[in-house]
Amino acid sequence: MRDNRINFRISSDKKIAFEEKAKKKGKKPAELLNEMIDKFLAEPEEEIDIKEVVARLEKLEARTMGESAA
């Protein structure tokens, strides 16, 4: 597989701080960025069903209100 580049803008202060912290951890900045990307890509993609969330909140609210009335 061929390596590719991603270019983005970052403040000089942030770049320097990142490079210094990477060096303290014994890693190259690119190594850390690749690890972060791998971790991000490994996260499951979740689709939020708003109707389901609302229904669950309504049930919880009804249960909570019922307990406080008792």
| pLDDT recorded at residue 40 | 93
- Residue 28: which domain range? 12-69
1 is a domain residue: no
pTM over 0.75: no
Whether the per-residue pLDDT at 58 is higher than 60: the answer is: yes
47 is a domain residue: yes
pLDDT tens per residue, range 2-52:
889 999 999 999 999 999 999 999 999 999 999 999 999 998 888 888 898
Contact between 25 and 31 under an 8 Å Cβ cutoff? The reply is no
Domain count, the chain: 1
User: Residue type at 23?
Assistant: K
Whether the per-residue pLDDT at 1 is higher than 80: the answer is: no
Contact between 69 and 63 under an 8 Å Cβ cutoff? The reply is no
How many angstroms separate the CA atoms of 63 and 31, rounded?
49
